[in-house]
Chains A and B, each alone.
Chain A
Amino acid sequence: MSRYTDLIVGSVFAVIALIYFGMSFNIQEAGVTQMGPAFVPRVIAGMTFLLSIILIANSVGALKHAEIQPAGAEDRANEEKPHYVPVVLTAVLLLAYVMLLEPMGFIASTIVYLFLQFNISAPKTRKGLKHQGYFLAGAVVATVAINTLFVTGFNVMLPQGIWE
């Protein structure tokens, strides 16, 4: 995978640049200035495309090079393998949190989020019943403290949802 990273990155950027360039034709010109609102985006699209082509070319060159002298295999063994399960869980939990924040209200959604996130994040040795108690207490205390500070202290209208 890592050998092809730059090739993938370059290709993704090339595609983005093309889509973005295409979308720049949807911009309505107001006609009040000599240079319209689509000009700068098109320059950016052009630069992005050019850079992505350079990156693709470079990485193809490097791949050919690598075929002759295979290298880099040993440092991959040293790297600790990332675990993607907690990453995906964290991302999904975050998404659910911000989506439910408004309908559920800040207090309810934050307590649930914190409690679940503590559980995802904590190492296996720290997930016993005792720790669950700590997690719940921590979630409640942190949530109430933040809510009080912002809502009463600073008049920030955090969504109160079911608490309203």
Chain B
Amino acid sequence: MDIFLNALWDILQPASVMLMFLGVAVGIVFGSIPGLSAAMAIALFLPITFTMGPNAGMTLLVSLYIGAISGGLISAVLLNIPGTPSSIATCFDGAPMARQGEAGKALGVGIVFSFLGGLLAFTALIFIAPPLAKFTLRFSPIEYFAITVFALTMIASLASGSMVKGLLSGMIGLLLATVGVSPIDGARRFTLDIDNLTSGFDLLPYLIGLFAITEVLIAAEQFSADKHVEPLALKKIKGFGFTLAEFFAQKWNLLRSSLIGLFIGILPGIGGSTSSILAYIAAKKQSKYPEKFGTGIMDGVVASESANNATIGGALIPLLALGIPGDGVTAMMLGGFLIHGLTPGPLLFKTSAEFVYGIFAACLVANMIMLILEFFGLRIYIKLLKVPKYILLPIIVVMCVVGAFSVNNRMFDAESILLFGLIGYLMYKAKLPLAPAVLSFILCPLIETNLRRGLMLTEGSFLAFFAKPIALFFLVTAIVALIVPLVRTFRSHRAKAAGTTKTPVG
């Protein structure tokens, strides 16, 4: 504990606090602008950290990461466009709240619960990182397959209207995700002999297209109507915009969502976008009023934002305790370790304890700074709604094009956002929900890769998957999750049919 307090003291020196304010502020900007993401902020600042000392470098990266993940909620709420992939689920209820004049409250809720989700996860990181990291070692490709299949079946419950249409939307994600070379053996699939399609579609352009460009096209429908000029009505807010009673009503939601975020964060490769969507679904399922989800209630924002910030803490656990990066962001942090001559691994806690505890302290302080900056920023962000959309949206389109381009430094990704924008617009016209298409796109390669790897481990036997307790649990839960709502819709169909003279087909 002494080491930790020393580290905390070091972090609280004016120079490093200044650095963290800068990092969090830049992170928030990257997070809040659609097209720019947390991963991009860190990739762009990584070379700069190489010239700093190891502690300062890591402090900056952690600040950027925390700022960017929470910053994503701003455009999710105000524009219905997730600022970063982790804030997709924040749109579901955050945007409807804003439409009802409660933008301030939605932001306030998002900020506070981002902070609390992060706080819970960082506490876990400090006290139980090594045992938690050991736990991840029990996950072989077989367990990963089971858990990702389980996550995929959750799209059935994401669909707000017709379940069949929700699942079909999920199929769009799967179809698009299989374009490009196949996992493991690198066979070209559905590339139509176009070279740029060899590496498939990237997640960020896919999201930008599906959300931002679609939103622009939908807005274009009303461009000639003059009512567009009217800014949204805004209710005045005090503090963070919600009452103490409302806050305490969310305590189980906060705890559940943070645990989901932490758990998904620990497992390499799945990420904050999945964790926030899963937490949203879990909150909806556990709720006494699931039908209100999606209409603009704070529960949805709480679930999404506490989960995605908890994922940061989770992702740092295998990195620090085992030296194993779980995603693009932690892989870049690992690079930061190496460049400063620190060897990551299980002994990092012993050999460079001051450094590790320095990161812990940085997480806590940066989280606090995020809360402060966004509390004061809140009143400024809301002003964004006063900017007419006909000015704001085109500029956002340009940021999206730049963002898509810089993912891989090629025009193809910038071009592909148009294709996805068009798909998203057609989906909107066909009343197909967008969220399932996102979740399935993220999960498809994970499922396929781990299925094929798992089969190599069991020498081709799929039945052997069920012999593993963790895999068995998730696979059975997945099957139940699919069948229960199917039976339920079938029954309600029957009931409806019985009420009329005609029996509907299907």
Q: Which residues of A contact B (CB under 8 A)?
A: 5-6, 8-9, 13, 16, 20, 23-24, 27-30, 32-38, 40-41, 44, 47-48, 51-52, 54-55, 57-58, 60-62, 64-65, 68, 80, 82-87, 89-91, 94-95, 97-99, 101-102, 106, 110, 113-114, 117-118, 120-126, 138, 142-143, 146, 150, 154-159
Contacts and interface: CB of A to CB of B under 8 A. Distances in A.
A138 B391 contact: yes
Given A114-B395, A122-B390, A84 B411 contact: no
Interface in B137-179: 162, 164-165, 167-168, 171, 174-175, 178
Contact of A125 (B220, B226, B406, B451): B226
A41 B189 contact: yes
Contacts of B162: 6, 55, 58
Given A58-B504, A90-B220, A110-B398, A30 B185 contact: yes
A85 B223 CA distance: 9
B402 interface: yes
Contacts of B186: 30
A28 B188 CA distance: 7
A9 B430 contact: yes
Contact of A121 (B223, B226, B406, B417): B223
A141 to B, nearest CB: 10
Interface string B416-433: 011001100100011110
Given A54-B164, A55-B164, A98-B411, 7 more contacts: A33-B452, A35-B451, A51-B167, A54-B506, A83-B220, A98-B414, A125-B226
Contacts of B221: 82-84, 86-87
Nearest to A89: B220
B363 interface: no
Contact of A23 (B190, B398, B409): B190
Given A33-B455, A83-B223, A158-B405, A48 B448 contact: no
B225 A157 contact: no
A51 B165 CA distance: 8
Interface in B392-412: 393-395, 397-399, 401-402, 405-406, 409, 411
23 contacts: A20-B175, A24-B189, A27-B182, A34-B460, A35-B451, A51-B167, A58-B164, A58-B506, A61-B505, A64-B502, A86-B221, A86-B224, A91-B421, A91-B422, A98-B414, A102-B411, A117-B394, A121-B389, A122-B388, A123-B225, A125-B226, A150-B402, A158-B402
Nearest to B221: A82
Contacts of A41: 178, 189-190
Interface of B: 44, 162, 164-165, 167-168, 171, 174-175, 178, 182, 184-190, 213, 216-217, 219-226, 228-229, 388-391, 393-395, 397-399, 401-402, 405-406, 409, 411, 414-415, 417-418, 421-422, 425, 429-432, 447-448, 451-452, 455-456, 460, 500-502, 504-506
B394 A91 contact: no
In the complex, which of the residues A20, A48, A52, A95 has the most CB atoms of chain B within 10 Å of its own CB atom?
A: A48
Contact of A5 (B190, B395, B430): B430
A40 B178 contact: yes
A134 to B, nearest CB: 9
Q: List the 7 shortest-distance A-B pairs measured between CB atoms, nearest first.
A: A61-B504, A121-B390, A37-B182, A82-B221, A57-B506, A37-B187, A117-B394
Contact of B391 (A9, A40, A118, A155): A118
B266 to A, nearest CB: 26
Nearest to B462: A35
B187 A48 contact: no
A1 to B, nearest CB: 10
B505 A87 contact: no
